[in-house]
Amino acid sequence: MTSTTPSAPSGTRESTAWVVVPLFNEAEVIGDVIAGLREQFSHVLCIDDGSTDNSVALAQASGARVIRHPMNLGQGAALQTGFDYVSAQPDATHIITFDADGQHLVSDAMEMLELAQRKRISIIFGSRFLDKRTKPGMRKRIVLKAAVLMTRAITGLRLTDAHNGLRVLSMEAIGKICLEQNGMSHATEIVHQLAKAKLSWQEYPVEVLYTEYSKRKGQSLLNSINILIDLLVR
Amino acid sequence: MISQWVLVGALALVGLYLLKAKRSANHQAIRRLFMVIVLIAGFVAVLFPEYTNSVAALLGIGRGADLLLYSFVVFALFYSVYQYRRQLWQEKVTTDLARSLTLTQASLEDAMTELGSAPR
């Protein structure tokens, strides 16, 4: 097996779920994000998508297994590469997708995984709109709601949050996914393919932390038009 | 006017091609046939300019020059859509290649780690 840091105690940590973290130039925060995940999870996989800073070294130092794209392909491509890698690991039962920019809580990921295991649900989507913890602000709220409406129209799945990077997927669900959208349209594409596969799913309330850092990298309202075109023309 | 129907039909075909085109030998054959026809039409238009006028009149377009302009716009659109689709396909190929490189390298590293940690 591929444990990169055998030093940490592994008895207490979750070892059948793999955390998949697409990584592109997040040197400011990636060390802390990985360290936080490694406290709970034995297997944290980073897919470096051609970072030009020292993100890779920092992620490795914090205990992640890092695999590298030869050039920047996009977050969707990185996720799919991660799915392919974990699919080849014999002991993997679940994949948790987790953003590298530090906006998710490890405790939310743990609770979602526990729910997926206990009730045997194939897919748990994180949603920031199911409770009052997350305060996105007016502008962000409008952008996200536009994306939600778009996703509903395309997929027919009535999710409350379309662009949340925190998800728990069983390996059965992973087997039904083949992401072809390299860029940011993959979030809608995942929902689309899972809706077609007719697997059990549920949403789970999570908090999204809007730090100064993550606010600098937001999506715009016009991007929902990109998503629509990406999914229509392929 | 006939010309309007023809042009709207041609634009609709371009749109359909954008959404539905597949990479198949049939499509390729149709594209090549199309190119040959356009080429022949070009020769005819150069050698017998008066023909463009009569075809234009037949379609209800004022002059042969207008007919040429309209046809040019439709062909140019069709060509850009074709190139756009080719580029999408090319991106997919590049992604598949990059991914297989990444996974090959990763499994090599894993194998090395396993060898290194195995009891001698």
Q: Cβ of A77 and B99 within 8 Å?
A: yes
Question: How much is the average pLDDT of A189-197?
Answer: 89
Distance CA B106, CA B120 (A): 23
Q: What average pLDDT score do residues A112-118 get?
A: 96
Q: Which among B95, B105, B106 has CB closest to A77?
A: B95
Mutation test of the interface with chain B: which of A182, A228, A230, choosing the one with the most B Cβ atoms within 10 A?
A182
Residue A7 has pLDDT above 50, yes or no: no
Average pLDDT of span B28-37: 88
Contacts of A71 in chain B (CB under 8 A): 98
Which of B16, B80, B97, B102 best probes binding to A when mutated, by most A CB atoms within 10 angstroms? B102
Mark which residues 184-223 of A lie under 8 Å from B by CB.
Answer: none
- Kindly state whether B83 is in contact with chain A, defined as any CB-CB distance less than 8 angstroms: no
pLDDT higher than threshold 50 for residue A5: no
Find the helix packing angle between A138-155 and A186-197, rounded to 10°: 40
**C-alpha A127 chain-centroid distance:** 12
Poorest-pLDDT segment among A77-86, A109-118, A165-174, A177-186: A177-186
Q: Where does the pLDDT of residue A8 fall: very low under 50, low under 70, confident under 90, or very high at 90 and above?
A: very low
CB B106 within 8 A of CB A85: yes
d(CA A40, CA A5): 14
Backbone phi and psi for residue A3, each to the nearest 5 degrees, phi listed first: -70, 120
Tell which wins on pLDDT, A14 or A22.
A22
DSSP-H helix ranges across B48-63: 49-59
Q: Choose among B88, B94, B113: nearest Cβ to A234.
A: B88
Please check the confidence at residue A94 and state whether its pLDDT lies above 50. Answer: yes
Question: What mean pLDDT is predicted for residues A40-67?
Answer: 96
| Mutation to test the B interface, candidates A18, A65, A81, most B Cβ within 10 Å | A81
Q: Which residues of chain A neighbour B96 with C-beta distances below 8 Å? A: none
* Cα torsion A58, A61, A65, A70: sign: positive
Residue A157 has pLDDT above 80, yes or no: yes
Report chain A's mean pLDDT, rounded to a whole number.
87
Calculate the average pLDDT of chain B. 89
Mind listing the pLDDT tens digit for each residue in A54-71?
999 999 999 999 999 999
pLDDT tens digits, B56-86 = 888 888 888 898 999 899 989 989 998 998 9
Instruction: List alpha helices for B21-117, DSSP H.
Output: 25-47, 49-59, 64-117
Walk across the sheet containing A167-170 and list its strands. Answer: A65-68, A41-48, A14-23, A94-97, A167-170, A123-127, A201-205
Q: ipTM beyond 0.85? A: no
